[in-house]
Structure 1
Amino acid sequence: MRTAYSVETVRAAERELMARLPEGALMARAAAGLAAVCAGLLGRVYGSRVVVLAGPGDNGGDALYAGARLARRGARVTAVPMDPQRIHPGGLAALRAAGGRVEASVPRRADLVLDGLLGIGGRGGLRPAAAALAERVRADALVVAVDLPSGVDADTGEVTGPAVTADVTVTFGAYKPGLLVDPGASRVGAVRLVDIGLDLAEPVLEALQHADVARLLPVPTASSDKYRRGVVGVVAGSEQYPGAAVLAVAGALRGGAGAVRYVGPAADAVLARYPEVLVGRGRVQAWVVGPGIGAGRAAEVGRALADRDVPVLVDADGLRGLDPEVVRGRRAATLLTPHAGEAAALLGVPRESVEAGRLAAVRELAERYGAAVLLKGSTTLVAPAGGGAVRVNPTGTPWLATAGSGDVLSGLAGALLAGGLPGADAGSVAAYLHGLAGRLAADGAPVVAQEVAAALPAAWRDVIS
């Protein structure tokens, strides 16, 4: 499992380690790792042109010391300080001793640019002087961010002003949330982690990997029958949106459910595609309510939530007017799966604020409703009901932004709830498999939701193989 840590946690671990090491040893470790990554990216270091954009803090020092290492290997290194009066003195001395030089403006030609303008403590985007330097970097230069791209909030991924877009980010000691959560994550490029020996406390963000998902997947045993495997009740679809019912059922069937029980007006469409589906109410181990039901069916959502001992997933139209007190009063798991617009309506804020601050939004929703929340989008996040680390989904493809994709995800997550997974586990495993299925189905080309559902078995096999 990949984990990410808050700035406060990283800073505390750095202070503890520095107290046990000789002065400057920690920065030397970081600079050595950074220089090694840069050398690998350059291929041939001797004669290459390297530009260091140097801020006034330790981040600028890391970049300058790394620049000195590259200069000793024959690179032509030029440092451009954001503020010449506040450049890191030790890093500057090391660079000059290695043959590097300092210029007031960004050179016209560069093979690699080190972004050392702001560190993980930076907030609020680049200030004018830093932004002016970043804007002068030519598009054909390889940009390597030091710890994270300057202008990205390390704790949240928020970008509230000008920011650097990197090709590669070399981060020290631990991943930071801003490297994994959009909009910041879209600016980091490939991320390389340099171990500097930090002893870290609890993470604030987690990203599942194949082994984690394989461990969580419910697998039938020799004594299993369809009821022991889990029956999913699906309340979805309408005369206007019968396809939502078909797709939610498809996700549930492909998600390991022993049986699917459909309730709604689209039974004919569902049975025409999936004759194995049961129609009508009956005993279930989880409910999926909301996809494509349209307005005016709040009573069906309320009926599902009123069964306080059965897990319920609420999506799409089912989220309209959802009462936090009703959700908080349930004993069984509740999983809410909004996209940014639906999350904004639940929180009473503009959609733009959710998209800009996805991590804060998913945490607030989970706290307000006392439920696990899966916030869909370019970065899908899953917050547990009782607090703790948020999970960020590492799989997916932009081709998943297609009609009906969310309905498949809801059915899949509902099947995992019926299989016994807690809300946050069901949501994060479903998001992982759904994203992986999307990649497999798309293979670089447009894809439709039915194809994503059809690719779920292949994604499942890929995870457990």
Structure 2
Amino acid sequence: MRRAHAVEWVRAAEGELMARLPEGTLMQRAAAGLAATCAELLRDGAPGRVYGSRVLVLAGSGDNGGDALFAGARLARRGARVSAALLAPERVHAGGLAALRAAGGRVTEDPAEAERADLVLDGIVGIGGRGPLRDAALPWVHAAGQGAATVVAVDLPSGVDPDTGAVPGAAVRADVTVTFGTHKPGLLIDPGASYAGVVRLVDIGLAEVRGTGSAPSDPRRARGGRALGTEPLAPLFDGHVVEALQQEDVAALLPEPDAESDKYRRGVVGIAAGSARYPGAAVLAVGAALHGGVGAVRYAGAAAREVVRAHPEALVGEGGPKDAGRVQAWVVGPGLSQDAEAERAVTEALDADVPVLVDADGLRLLARRGSAPANALLTPHAGEAVALLAGIGVTATRDQVEAERLRHARALARGYRCTVLLKGSTTVVTGPTGPARVNATGTAQLATAGSGDVLSGLAGALLAAGLSPVDAGSVAAYLHGLAGRLSSDGAPTTATAITAALPEAWRRSR
């Protein structure tokens, strides 16, 4: 499991670790890991070696700039030609600047050096940064983007919010981000994640204080000396707010039949989807559900003929969820339209006293109610999220949702008191409490008609197989993303092809 921790927790953990170590140890650990990564990149790049390469350090104030300056000093001692732009000269890290100068580095005020550099080290702002970059940094950021230099961000790209991934203005677009101690949420969630490039984690010893299941004992002391107050940090989930499933995590969650299993013990999922206008949504949702680990799929709705023609394994009926027979979970909404019959189907599925996944048209009908069962899994895209937010009295635009995915997914989960899977370039799965999950297996090729119907059917099947809403949403997003990659293989794909790739995605995840 890859975990990302909020800034408040990171600062407190660093403060506790600093109290155990000689002064400056933590910064030297960070600088050593940063310099080692830069040296590796320089050896692999155009210069072919560290000696004689041109390195520009963009040094802001405080510890982030200090990490970059100390790393620059290490590179200078190996023969690199290192210059530093001091973007806050009055607050520059004095020790880091002295080390750089002692190693032969120099100070520059010419942004054109960024275009001539082989490597640019972004130490403008670190995890304490909020809001847009200051004007003084903008010429340097622009010049770094114009040149051919490899751009390495220190802890996270400057201009990216560390806790949300929001990018409120210009930001450094890094090729590599070297982050310290733990991942930061902004490195895993778009739009910030798209600025981070390849993320490398450098161990600085935070594992010594983060494995207790609670926050560090003294949240007041931080690496930069900033007071955090006396309130204890949240003791749940080891302080992390975002996590990403890895292959071994998914393998442990996949439902598997045993010798005593039959089709009913494996779970039965009900699908209430499709309409005379959109029968394909039902066909796709049922097809994906058949590959989701359940023993049977019941379909209830207007597309019964199309469903049984495409999937003779499905149990079909033309009535609503109330008349369909026993299931362990419902999927309701894809292609359903928003007429009286659709509203009845949504109501019956929500009242069925089993876990229910609500998608597409079902979400807009749900927004009128402004509430959902605690065992529900809502799967909106950004536009549908806007309608759901309006249902609980929150005004937002699609752009705002996409800019701060974690915050809006959390708002939905808390407002509706259930689990939300917010679809998009970063899929976010979260309940009202606990860490959110993000998915890293997706591809832009998944942005195709019917892809969301496939995800709904798959996630609903996993609900019926016994996974919790958070686990079902997370595993479905992982498999769906992997199937998208397998089916596209660098070319456009279709929802039907994604469904066909689900068995291989399942096998690769075991």
Q: What's the CA shift string for 1:78-133, capped at 9, x where partnerless?
A: 10111222221111000000011111123141100000000101001211111122
Residue identity in the other structure for 2:468: P
**Once the 2 structures are TM-superposed, how far is the Cα of residue 139 of structure 1 from its aligned partner?**
3.1
Displacement of 1:322: 1.4
Contact 1:147 1:170 survives alignment (8 Å): yes
Q: Distance in 2 between matches of 1:403 and 1:139?
A: 38
Q: How many residues align?
A: 460
Q: Is the 8 A contact 1:288 1:314 kept in 2?
A: yes
Structure 1 stretch 318-327 or stretch 1-10: which is displaced more? 318-327
Say if 2:426 and 2:439, in contact at 8 Å, map to a contact too. Answer: yes
Q: How does 1:119-134 map to 2 (within 5 A)?
A: 119-134=126-141
Partner of 2:443: 397
Aligned to 2:251: 214
Q: Which moved more, 1:356-365 or 1:99-108?
A: 99-108
* DSSP 3-state at the match of 1:62: helix
Q: Distance in 1 between matches of 2:365 and 2:205?
A: 49
Provide the C-alpha distance between the structure 1 equivalents of 2:240 and 2:282, rounded to a whole number of angstroms: 38
Indicate the RMSD between aligned Cα atoms, in angstroms. Answer: 1.2
Paired AA for residue 304 in structure 1: A
User: In structure 1, what is the equivalent of residue 498 of structure 2?
Assistant: 452
Q: Matched residues in 2 for 1:311 and 1:54: separation?
A: 52
How far apart, CA to CA, are the structure 1 residues paired with 2:258 and 2:180? 44
Aligned match of 1:58? 63
TM-score (norm 1): 0.97
**Separation of aligned partners in 1, 2:173 and 2:368:** 39
Specify every segment of 5 or more residues in structure 1 that has no aligned partner in the other structure, as ranges: none
Q: Deviations over 1:163-184 (max 9, x none)?
A: 1110000000110000000110
Q: Does 1:187 align with 2:195?
A: yes
In structure 1, give the amino acid aligned to 2:78: R
Return 5+ residue gaps in structure 2 as ranges: 44-48, 211-237, 318-323, 391-395
Partner of 1:135: 142
1:286 equivalent to 2:286? Answer: no
Number of the residue aligned with 1:370: 417
Q: How does 1:89-100 map to 2 (within 5 A)?
A: 89-100=94-105
The one-letter amino acid paired with 2:366 is L
> In structure 1, what is the Cα distance between the partners aligned to 2:367 and 2:278?
25
Give the Å deviation of 1:326.
Answer: 7.5
The one of 83, 88, 91 equivalent to 1:83 is: 88
Displaced runs of 4 or more, over 4 A:
323-328
Match of 2:26 in 1: 26
The answer for the alignment partner of 1:72 in structure 2 is 77
Corresponding position of 1:432 = 478
2:89 and 2:138 map into 1 onto residues whose CA distance is 15
Paired residue type of 1:284: V
| Local SS of the residue matching 1:228 | coil
Alignment-mate amino acid for residue 444 of structure 1:
G
Matched AA of 1:85: E
- Return the match for 2:343 from 284, 298, 302: 298
1:41 paired to 2:26:
no
Q: Distance in 1 between matches of 2:367 and 2:334?
A: 18
Question: Which deviations, in whole Å up to 9, do the C-alpha atoms of 1:9-38 show, x marking residues without a partner?
Answer: 000001111111111111000000000000
Aligned position for 2:266: 229
Deviation at 1:324, TM superposition (A): 8.5
Q: Answer yes or no: is the 8 Å Cα contact 1:39–1:45 preserved in 2.
A: yes
Question: Is this contact kept in 1: 2:56–2:117, CA < 8 A?
Answer: yes
- The answer for the alignment partner of 1:256 in structure 2 is 293
Which one of 449, 458, 461 corresponds to residue 415 of structure 1? 461
Partner of 1:340: 382
Cα deviations by residue, 1:259-279 (Å, 9 ceiling, x for unpaired): 111111111111111111111
Say if 1:82 and 1:133, in contact at 8 Å, map to a contact too: no
What CA distance in whole angstroms lies between the structure 2 residues aligned with 1:323 and 1:237?
19
TM-score of the superposed pair, with normalisation by structure 2? 0.89
Deviation (angstroms), 1:314? 0.3
Residues 125 and 150 in structure 1, CA contact (< 8 A), matched pair in contact too: no
Correspondence list, 1:376-387, <5 A: 376-384=423-431, 386-387=432-433
